[in-house]
Amino acid sequence: MNTSRRDFIRSSAIALTGAVLLPEKGYSYSLASNKTKLAVQLYCVRDEMEEDPLGSLGQLAKMGYTHVEHANYVDHKFYGWTAAEFKKVLDGLGLKIPSGHTVLRSKHWDETRGDFTDEWKKTVEDAAYIGQSFVISPYMEGSVHDTYDSFSRFMEVFNQSGTLCQKYGMKFGYHNHDFEFSKKLKGVTLWDLIMKNTETDKVVMQLDMGNMYKAGAIAKDLLARYPGRYDTIHVKDMVLNKDGEYESCALGEGLIDVKKTIDLARDQGTTLFIIEQEAYQGKSPMERMKENLDTMQTWGYK
């Protein structure tokens, strides 16, 4: 996820009210399987999903993708569909959705009641209904990590979200950018603080190997430092553009040793690998998604 995606997330803030009945047990995608799964983050084709979500999902399914991760949940809806409608669309295309991105914000926790708002509870309920195993927060508000105390309090909210997700057979997770590796509180990086203050059975880290590269962090090092914390990984390669800035590129064409990194993650127990590319170097997003799928399959990931 890059700066443009941060803007996208801010503009897509959810506005949910009211509670719903709990979905039936068994909807959530199985967390028990040790078999690796390959998915694509739908933000890769964000413009296509905005213009024609059904057609875009159909194209991805025709390419050979069987799993997707969403990045759009607004006003109780996924890409304009209710949870029931979205599940029907996915089922019709033979697609599974083991993971999805929705920002957990400070407003979602009611300090007075010591509980989540109906807004966040609805988010989790809908995620379970469509079959997710992971509810991933892909961003962290600046106010949350202004001070050590505010950050520590929010890590407890992470743990509480993990407890809530467990009730539906899911896990809560966090997706990194670069600031978690460059910013420190009391001399400790935010990433290390997240790891030390979240419960391993409730909170997983969705490691974005490209975002961290901007801060000089190497995914292989983080895998070695905290083995077993990464149930899901964003598979991304990075290249320097003409302006001297890092941007994502097709897998195997950039600066990151992607295959070696994901092989190490797989050996440590990571089961869900999610392709993400946000810049396309002159080709269409759909062309790049086909290339990336082919590359991952060549590497043994299906």
Residue 281 has pLDDT above 70, yes or no: yes
Q: Are strands 77-78 and 73-74 parallel, antiparallel or unpaired?
A: antiparallel
DSSP structure class, residue 81:
B
Looking at residue 170, its amino acid is: M
Residue 250 has pLDDT above 90, yes or no: yes
Look at residues 293, 235, 239, 302 and name the one whose alpha carbon lies nearest to residue 264: 235
Tens of pLDDT along 37-69? 999 999 999 999 999 999 999 999 999 999 999
Packed helices 285-298 and 53-63: angle between N→C axes, nearest 10 degrees: 30
Mean pLDDT of 254-270: 96
Summary mean pLDDT of the chain: 91
Residue 6 has pLDDT above 60, yes or no: no
Q: According to the model, what pLDDT value does residue 14 have?
A: 35
Q: According to the model, what pLDDT value does residue 2 have?
A: 47
Is residue 49 within 8 A of residue 77, CB to CB? The reply is: no
Q: According to the model, what pLDDT value does residue 34 have?
A: 66
Q: Which two tokens stand for residue 260?
A: 């070696």
Tens of pLDDT along 200-234? 999 999 999 999 999 999 999 999 999 989 999 99
Most distant CA pair in the chain, distance: 53
The pTM of the full predicted model, rounded to 2 decimals, is 0.89
DSSP H or E stretch at residue 154 = helix 148-166
* CATH class of the domain at 3-298: alpha beta
Q: Which two tokens stand for residue 209?
A: 């190997």
The C-alpha torsion from 55 through 57 and 61 to 63, rounded to 10°, is: 70
Residue 32 has pLDDT above 70, yes or no: no
